[in-house]
């Protein structure tokens, strides 16, 4: 699968706001707000993955997959099963679910074989450079101390994005950079794109907004002007 141009990836995490059927309502609101103008991608909780895939008119990815056998394994999330649900890829190595480099390497390859996208999270430039040698479709830069704090990395330390884009390109021409951590406002997105990021990974900035539709429209408008 070719990677998406300028994606806006929304990680729903396991927030109570989207528990149960609320994931489906969120997916419908998100599709309505984006209205096909932006490559909006949803990462719902694993227990909601099939339901969201069934109703969403948007690409859906898993929040995580495990590097275990497709078959006689219990309690794991395998890429093949995620694809069977209708998902098009997965997040890997989020700061809230770190995995080893060898697992990242294996899973990026496995997802690629399945024609699915890989979005690998990195806490800093050094980790991003190390992981870029596996050539995932995207590396999302997310300093852990900014996650959920409402302070975007694009404002807190713009050099992280600029340097990540430059250094990752030296290692993998395929891999694009997403800006994560603290994205809340349209301005955060605009700055990130101007600094060289190819897209955005956001969570609480959207899920905990008073209006999902209004917040998604606001963030999407930054892409439409980039």
Largest CA distance in the chain: 49
Q: Decide if 200 contacts 41 (C-beta within 8 A).
A: no
User: What order do you get walking across the sheet with 39-43 strand by strand?
Assistant: 39-43, 7-11, 199-202, 176-179, 138-141, 117-122, 89-92
What digits encode the pLDDT tens for the residues 173-185? 999 999 987 788 8
Nearest to 132 by CA among 80, 190, 93: 93
Give the Cβ contact number of residue 20 at 10 Å: 12
- Fold annotation for 7-224: TIM Barrel (3.20.20)
What average pLDDT does the segment 84-93 reach? 98
DSSP letter at 185 equals S
Phi-psi region of 98 (alpha: psi -120 to 50; beta: other; left: phi over 0): beta
Which candidate in 142, 167, 185, 194 is catalytic?
Answer: 142
Tell me phi and psi for residue 181, to 5 degrees: 75, 110
Q: Would residue 142 show up in a list of annotated catalytic residues for this protein?
A: yes
**pLDDT score recorded for residue 78:** 97
What digits encode the pLDDT tens for the residues 134-175? 999 999 998 777 665 566 766 777 888 899 999 999 999 999
What does the domain layout of the chain look like in residue ranges? Answer: 7-224
pTM of the model: 0.94
Residue 1's pLDDT band, with cuts at 50, 70 and 90, is low
Which candidate in 17, 94, 96, 187 is catalytic?
Answer: 94
């Amino acid at each position: 699968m070719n990677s998406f141009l300028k994606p806006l990836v929304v990680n729903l995490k396991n927030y109570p706001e989207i528990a149960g059927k609320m994931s489906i309502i969120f997916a419908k609101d998100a599709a309505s707000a984006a209205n096909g103008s932006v490559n909006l991608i949803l990462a719902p909780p694993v227990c909601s993955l099939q339901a969201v895939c069934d109703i969403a008119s948007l690409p859906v990815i898993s929040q995580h997959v495990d590097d275990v056998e497709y078959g006689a394994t219990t309690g794991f999330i395998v890429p093949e099963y995620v694809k069977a649900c209708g998902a098009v890829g997965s997040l890997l190595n989020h700061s809230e679910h770190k995995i080893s480099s060898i697992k990242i390497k294996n899973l990026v390859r496995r997802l690629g074989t399945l024609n699915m996208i890989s979005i690998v999270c990195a806490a800093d430039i050094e980790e991003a450079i190390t992981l870029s040698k596996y050539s995932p479709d995207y590396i999302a830069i997310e300093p852990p101390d900014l996650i959920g704090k409402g302070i975007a990395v694009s404002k807190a330390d713009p050099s992280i994005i600029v340097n990540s884009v430059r250094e990752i390109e030296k290692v993998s021409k395929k891999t694009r950079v997403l800006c994560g951590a603290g994205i809340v406002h349209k301005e955060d997105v605009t700055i990130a794109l101007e600094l060289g990021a190819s897209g955005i990974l956001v969570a609480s900035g959207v899920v905990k907004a008073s209006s999902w539709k209004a917040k998604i429209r606001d963030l999407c408008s930054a892409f439409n002007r980039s």
